[in-house]
Amino acid sequence: MAFRGAVITFPGSNCDRDMAVALENVSGVPALRVWHGEADLPEALDFIALPGGFSYGDYLRCGAIASRSPVMRSVIAAADRGVPVLGVCNGFQVLTEAGLLPGALMRNAELHFTCRTVPLTVENTQSLFTSGYDAGSTIMLPVAHHDGNYFADDATLDRLEGDGRVAFRYCGAVNGSQRGIAGILNDAGNVLGMMPHPERAVEPELGGTDGRILFESAIRGLVTA
Amino acid sequence: MKVRVHVSLKPGVLDPQGRAVHHALEGLGFTGVDDVRVGRLVELDVADDTTDAALDEMCRKLLANMVIENYRIEKL
């Protein structure tokens, strides 16, 4: 079965090419590229990625305007049908603004743009995206964001943790996120939003391969599904 | 009709920007400032027959993030 993955590009996305290269690198198939103004997605997609960047210049709120763009209506419909959707960095912000994931991403607590490689613990190894990681393992992924401070009310946080929907947690203080949350899954497990960049860690030349496992897990899960 | 939408963080949501401004005010020697919250002002120029319901919908669907923010509509 040939893998069909798509990367959505918004005005201001700047990690879309990296995401497409990572998908091609792992799957062996070029990723389809979709402009935000397209109302319809390509047919029969196996995977949709919302890349990092600064969609619409982060005007109003990060990800807010992108989340209301024409293509997102199709992305939301696809997510509801169970198509895997990965949102990284600005893509995570778009997913929360679109209501596909709970909570919101606020300005980093220390007000700095944080750009470095950080350790994360893999909290859930049962999901489509994380099945290739060892339970409880610590991985290294780059972060690069100004607004990665995850916020949700206590009831939502309790529910996320209780249901095993926290996918990744920062090992130390990075941005002030509630309970150190770096990435979360939706209830059905087919939508993952995360601030760290797995697409920047898919080959040794990039400084690490811990992100590659995420793409391998998802693609393997899809091909054997 | 001119409409102002005041968007502010909900009480209890940590406001790092407000905290930084508070710190700067203290640095300037202003005492007695208990707290600072930074919000956003959106000014709209809309048709006179725009309904309150439509304005509310604009706020809930886009102008404010109801997870972390409140809004207040002021007609001028």
ipTM: 0.83
- Cα A166 to chain centroid distance, Å, stands at 13
In chain B, the N- to C-terminal Cα span, in Å, equals 7
> How would you write the pLDDT of chain A (225 residues) with one tens digit per residue?
689 999 999 999 999 999 999 999 999 999 999 999 999 999 999 999 999 999 999 999 999 999 999 999 999 999 999 999 999 999 999 999 999 999 999 999 988 999 999 999 999 999 999 999 998 899 999 999 999 999 999 999 999 999 999 999 999 999 999 999 999 999 999 999 999 999 999 999 988 999 999 999 999 887 665
Residues whose CB falls within 8 Å of the CB of residue B58, separated by 6 or more in sequence, listed in order: B5, B44
**A175 in reach of chain B (CB within 8 A):** no
CATH homologous superfamily of B2-75: Phosphoribosylformylglycinamidine synthase subunit PurS (3.30.1280.10)
Asked if A11 and A65 touch (Cβ cutoff 8 Å), the reply is: no
Q: Are A63 and A51 in contact (CB under 8 A)?
A: no
Q: What is the pTM of this model?
A: 0.93
Contacts of residue A89, Cβ cutoff 8 Å, sequence gap at least 6: A15, A51, A52, A53, A143, A144, A145, A148, A194, A195, A196, A197
| Chain centre distance of CA A176 | 19
**To the nearest whole angstrom, how far is the Cα of B32 from the nearest Cα of chain A?**
24
Q: Across chain A, which distance is largest between two alpha carbons, in Å?
A: 47
Nearest to B65 among A61, A111, A149 (CB): A61
Domain ranges of chain A: 5-224
B interface toward A at CB cutoff 8 Å?
Answer: 13-14, 16-17, 20, 61-63, 65, 67-68
Is the Cβ of A157 closer than 8 Å to some Cβ of chain B? no
CB nearest to A68's CB, from B20, B62, B68: B62
Fold of A5-224: Rossmann fold (3.40.50)
Active site residues of A: 89, 197, 199
- Contact status of A90 with chain B (Cβ, < 8 Å): no
Q: Using the beta-carbon criterion (under 8 Å), do A152 and B67 form an inter-chain contact?
A: yes
For testing contact with chain A, the best of B38, B61, B67 (most A CBs within 10 A): B67
Question: CA of B21, closest CA in chain A: separation in Å?
Answer: 11
Cβ atoms of A182 and A174 within 8 Å: the answer is: yes
Residue with tokens 């991985």: A139
Query: For every residue of chain B, which 3-state class applies, written as one string?
Result: CEEEEEEEECCCCCCHHHHHHHHHHHHCCCCCCCCCCCCEEEEEECCCCCCHHHHHHHHHHHHCCCCCEEEEEEEC
